Amino acid sequence: MSQEYTLSSTATADTSANAPLLQIRDLEVGFKTQRGLVPAVRGVDLTLHAGQTLAIVGESGSGKSTTAQAIINLLPGAGQVTGGQILFEGKDLTKLSSAAMQDVRGREIGYVPQDPMSNLNPVWSIGFQVEEAIKANGIAQGRDARKRTIEVLKEAGLSDAEDRLKQFPHQFSGGMRQRVLIGIGLSSRPKLLIADEPTSALDVTVQRTILDHLETLTRDYGTSVLFITHDLGLAVERAEQLVVMYKGKVVEAGPSAEILANPLHPYTQRLVAAAPSLASRRIQSARRPETTDQLDISSVGSADDRLIARADARESGTHQDLIQVTNVSKVYNIRKGGFKTDQLKAVDDVSFAIPKGTTMALVGESGSGKSTVAKLVLQLESITSGSITFDNRDVAGLRGKELLNFRRRVQPVFQDPYGSLDPMYSVGKTIAEPLVAHGVGDRASRQARVRELLDQVALPASTVNRYPNELSGGQRQRIAIARALALKPDVIVLDEAVSALDVLVQGQILNLITDLQAELGLTYLFITHDLAVVRLVADSVCVMQKGRIVESASTDDVFDNPREAYTQKLLEAIPGAHFQFGR
């Protein structure tokens, strides 16, 4: 890219007094593989001024994290900077020796990694790890280091810091661990903090408090922040400047509110159109014979027609509760050293019903018991009390043939598209597995059905011989959906089925399941932590908290008039909840 641009929000030109803190010029990063050097970042320019916050957004594989890692020279083994400059306060970081770079890292540029679960060493106490960072950066030594450690943890928002010094990472929740990592990142008052998806692994409400806290700290210290994120809402809410990356290149850059209200590059337009927000409406089936995988989230015009049609269908008497969950509880016995056991009530007196042909969303944060409900409905765990009926038959205690029959009609799609497919099975074998297990058809008819299913989930027939490790997360999830559809079930339980996917792919999969619902009359139990997605697919919503359902209503009621404080808090915590995306 030859065009020079500035992200300065002020109109003043670059004077020496107002030189940018970080300036990346034409950066190129490649990864060495057996097939030669594969470029990951291809000519990226960006400028960040002191005190500013900038977000790089993009899907996985866009090069956003690689760019951040290149700045602090933390590229994974095979990666190397192959061209361009990274000017930090005027000095080129790509030219520094590793010893000189070590001084910059931590002391001048702080880093908050993505996964708070794996980025603290489980065998050392929290205090030791914070102190280590403080000593390594030469901020304080000896007794002062200990004092500073306590200060850092206090700043990070741990009020009882002295007591917590001796605790170990497993005694901290995900949010608290991320606070510690932010504390370490900011401990030496760096001029720049790089936060690589700092809250992606956390619940929305925790995410909100962490980001609020981070904002306060960096504002107080005058630290510039470089966010790496896939979440447009988070970017517009937390960063004044935005850089959109796609396939290793910058496709659009500028003030974030302006870009997201008025996206000009087709890729940004796509991203903005697919970003679920509170303003979204339910997707309607857009399946036409010639366009099978069109992204149709943006067209909201005929939503009312669809709602009227749905209401008509309901009144015409076809409405019937296919699944009824009544006063269901699930208690786990947890071993607590020796012979003592503790009881954990994972699901507490939960009741709901799903009418045939509709989607009910079960929403909650981690530990709310929503996935346990999925397991209970799927008969993967037995219920402690209460009853679950499917098609007016009690499913508890189904055995042998009856259980097999139930499994044939109620199929699951799980969260992790990397884990739910056997890596040793080809795609064709995976999709045919339920047919084989239930003894449906012969070899030839099964093969025909597999091809038909691949077509239904919009994958080419040539995928049959491929293995899961060759496919992307979205493609794997399509395979999982095809496998679930193989036996022509009535109900599909989607347990966080789109949570691990990039927003565009997520949009595609949501379209797909909506189309399949219209085409095959499927009933969905849609389990998710993401309220914004719920609005796109669900007819009714149950909000779970600590094993109980706290609110249960139609989707529009929950979003427009949430009754419970907890629901309101969840809605408020969605990043960029009130931002009007340009569509």
Backbone region of residue 51 per phi and psi (left: phi > 0; alpha: psi in -120 to 50; beta: other values): left
Closest to another protein by CB, 317 vs 423, is: 423
Closest to another protein by CB, 262 vs 568, is: 262
Rounded Cα distance, 399 and 395, in Å: 9
DSSP state of 105: B
Instruction: Based on the shown chain and the rule CB under 8 A, indicate whether residue 6 belongs to the binding site for another protein.
Output: yes
Site residues (CB under 8 A) for another protein, limited to 444-483: 459-460, 462-463, 465-467, 469-472, 474-475, 480, 483
Q: Which of 107, 154, 270, 345 binds another protein (CB under 8 A)?
A: 270
Instruction: Based on the shown chain and the rule CB under 8 A, indicate whether residue 258 belongs to the binding site for another protein.
Output: yes
Instruction: Based on the shown chain and the rule CB under 8 A, indicate whether residue 246 belongs to the binding site for another protein.
Output: yes
The string over 528-554, giving b where at least 16 C-beta atoms fall within 10 Å of a residue's C-beta and e elsewhere, is bbbbbbbbbbbbbbbbbbebbbbbbbe
Site residues (CB under 8 A) for another protein, limited to 272-301: 293, 295
Closest to another protein by CB, 258 vs 394, is: 258
Rounded Cα distance, 362 and 323, in Å: 14
**Which string of x and - marks every residue 359-378 that binds another protein (by CB under 8 A)?**
-------------------x
Rounded Cα distance, 533 and 500, in Å: 13
Which tokens in the block code for residue 180? Answer: 């510690």
Residue 563: exposure state from Cβ atoms within 10 A (0-12, 13-18, ≥19): middle
Site residues (CB under 8 A) for another protein, limited to 165-194: none
Name the minimum Å distance from CB 419 to another protein: 4
Name the minimum Å distance from CB 189 to another protein: 28
Q: Which of 421, 453, 533, 570 binds another protein (CB under 8 A)?
A: 421
Site residues (CB under 8 A) for another protein, limited to 7-36: 7-9, 11, 34
Instruction: Based on the shown chain and the rule CB under 8 A, indicate whether residue 252 belongs to the binding site for another protein.
Output: yes
Backbone region of residue 288 per phi and psi (left: phi > 0; alpha: psi in -120 to 50; beta: other values): beta
Give the sheet arrangement for strand 523-528, strand by strand: 410-413, 491-495, 523-528, 359-363, 540-545, 548-554
**Which string of x and - marks every residue 311-350 that binds another protein (by CB under 8 A)?**
----------------------------------------
Instruction: Based on the shown chain and the rule CB under 8 A, indicate whether residue 411 belongs to the binding site for another protein.
Output: yes
Name the minimum Å distance from CB 221 to another protein: 25
Q: Which of 90, 138, 266, 397 binds another protein (CB under 8 A)?
A: 266
**380 SS3 class:** coil
Residues 6+ apart with CB under 8 A from 305: none
Q: Which of 28, 132, 215, 416 binds another protein (CB under 8 A)?
A: 416
Instruction: Based on the shown chain and the rule CB under 8 A, indicate whether residue 117 belongs to the binding site for another protein.
Output: no
Name the minimum Å distance from CB 441 to another protein: 15
Name the minimum Å distance from CB 552 to another protein: 25
Name the minimum Å distance from CB 112 to another protein: 25
- Strands (E) in 120-240, as ranges, are 192-196, 224-229
Place of tokens 């060493």: 121
Rounded Cα distance, 146 and 514, in Å: 56
Site residues (CB under 8 A) for another protein, limited to 508-547: 508
Site residues (CB under 8 A) for another protein, limited to 480-509: 480, 483, 487, 504-505, 508
Residue pair 551/567 in contact (Cβ under 8 Å)? The answer is yes
**H-helix or E-strand containing 344?**
strand 341-355
Closest to another protein by CB, 143 vs 335, is: 335
Applying CB under 8 A, the site for another protein has a residue count of: 75
Instruction: Based on the shown chain and the rule CB under 8 A, indicate whether residue 265 belongs to the binding site for another protein.
Output: yes
Q: Bridge-partner residues for 225, per DSSP?
A: 53, 193
Q: Bridge-partner residues for 243, per DSSP?
A: 56, 253
Residue 299: exposure state from Cβ atoms within 10 A (0-12, 13-18, ≥19): middle
Name the minimum Å distance from CB 458 to another protein: 10
Q: Which of 380, 393, 455, 565 binds another protein (CB under 8 A)?
A: 380
Q: Which of 73, 420, 523, 555 binds another protein (CB under 8 A)?
A: 420
